Structures are given as C-alpha cells and as structure tokens.
Amino acid sequence: MVRLDRIGKRYGRGPWVLRDVSLAVEPGEVVVLRGGNGAGKSTLLRIAAGVTAPTNGRVSRGASVGYAPERFPTGVKLSARDYLRHLAAVRGVPVRWELTEALGFVGDPDAPMATLSKGNAQKIALAQALHATDLLVLDEPWSGLDAAASAVLGELVTSSRTAVVLTDHHGHDLPGAREVALGAARPGGVVIELDRVGEAFALISALEGVFAAHEVGGGARVEVRAGFSDGVLAEALRLGCSVRSVRS
C-alpha cells in the first residue's frame, strides 16, 4: 500500500507543483492519475515510489516497491539478464523470468540494456517493477509497447495484489480502477467552460498552461494555470469554441 498525507512539492524555489494532495492506495487497488501536461503526475509517482522527497507532508508505504519511470535511464551498461538478477537480489526475491516472457521480450538478454529497442527496454523496466510485492508505481507504462504486450500489461495490472498507481495518457481500459485528477485544487488557477468544442478538445487540452481538461457534453471544462488563461481563451476562440464561463 501507499499513503500520501497532505503532500506539497516544489522544485527549489520554483512554483508549487503539488499542494495538499492526499491519496491512499490499498493492496489490490489500481489508481490512475489524470491531469494535463505538467499537472504533477510524474512528480507524485516519484514521491509515491520514494525516489523524490516531498517538500511538505508525509508518505508511508510498504517495503517492496516497484517503480518504472517514464523514460528508462539511458546508458545502463548491464545486460537485461544481469539487470533483472541484480534488482531481484537487492529485493531478496528470485528472478521471475516468466514476466519477460509474458510481456513478449524478444531482445538479446545478454546485450547491454542501452542497445535494446524502446519497447524491449520498456518490457525489462516493467518486469523489474512487477517483482514488487507491496506497491507498483508505473509512469506511462504502455509507452512503446506493442499490442500483445499492452494487453498483457493490462491484465498484470488489474490482477496485481499490490497497490498500483500509474499514469496513462492513452486511457487504457482498466476495469475497477479508480481515477484521481490532479491539478483541480491548484491555487491561482482558472476554470474555463467552453461550448462547441468538438474535435478541438485534443488541441485545447495540450495547450501550454492547461493542467486538466474534461469533455462535458459537446463542451469542455478546462483548468488552466494562472497566467495562461488569456492564451488559452484566445486559442479556444480561434478554434471556433464559444466561452460559457471563466472563473478563478
């Protein structure tokens, strides 16, 4: 499990990326973090996994944590075989080679990790994380996976007995998963409600400063960081949307 209690995070003297976020994920539960680019999803995952310290608040978690970052560190000189052996030894568990087989790893297990294709390296990163028995933290785990591996990963995640917390820009179907939106409570943000959004939704949700966007009927509710609302409004109007309301 993992329990985050009133977490705040800023990098150095930069703006607050997370403020007052609380989240508890129980064994067997899957939580999917939602929020636009820059909402703080990866930051929250790193805090949950214990690789980044929060600025405020408390974290408690089980001892056996598996973390697969969004980007596998480049330059890992170990082979996939040695990498999995090493991490299993650190955890004091036997290597589960069947995980690499289930995910369809077809790279050379004895070649340096840095020479693997993106998808094969991702399968090794996921396999090492899936050895954890208390908490699984996965940042965009479907990135680079082929269709067969994507389906297997969905099954592994939903059948896991650990607490699972992940991000997924592509919205894979995970029956029973709980969605948690980040960014809604960001102070100084602006909520813009739009009509006649249609196909412009994807463009609007990717605009700079947008940290959450939800389709509502034919319109959208867009949460924007302070200082970005004028640009988002101008772009929404240019794309043919109409503005229903703007609230700070």
Ligand X SMILES: Nc1ncnc2c1ncn2[C@@H]1O[C@H](COP(=O)(O)OP(=O)(O)OP(=O)(O)O)[C@@H](O)[C@H]1O
* Interface ranges with ligand X (CB under 6 A): 11, 14, 17, 35, 37-43
Smallest gap from Cβ 79 to ligand X, in A, equals: 29
Beta bridge partners of 2: 25, 61
Query: Which one, 47 or 84, has the nearer CB to ligand X?
Result: 47
Smallest gap from Cβ 226 to ligand X, in A, equals: 13
Which residues, at least 6 apart from 223, have a Cβ–Cβ distance to it below 8 Å?
Answer: 36, 183, 184, 186, 189, 190, 191, 192, 210, 211, 212, 213
Smallest gap from Cβ 106 to ligand X, in A, equals: 28
Which residues, at least 6 apart from 166, have a Cβ–Cβ distance to it below 8 Å?
Answer: 30, 31, 32, 33, 45, 136, 137, 138, 139, 141, 157
Query: Which one, 80 or 125, has the nearer CB to ligand X?
Result: 125
Query: Which one, 56 or 133, has the nearer CB to ligand X?
Result: 56
What Cα–Cα distance (Å) separates residue 243 from each residue in 44, 65, 189, 197?
32, 45, 17, 10
Smallest gap from Cβ 15 to ligand X, in A, equals: 7
CA 156 vs. chain centroid, Å, equals 17
Smallest gap from Cβ 180 to ligand X, in A, equals: 12
User: Are 244 and 193 within 8 A, CB to CB?
Assistant: yes
The closest of 84, 83, 129, 124 to 107, measured between CA atoms, is: 124
Query: Which one, 16 or 97, has the nearer CB to ligand X?
Result: 16
Query: Which one, 139 or 152, has the nearer CB to ligand X?
Result: 139
Query: Which one, 66 or 183, has the nearer CB to ligand X?
Result: 183
Smallest gap from Cβ 175 to ligand X, in A, equals: 24
3-state secondary structure of 7: strand
User: Are 25 and 2 within 8 A, CB to CB?
Assistant: yes
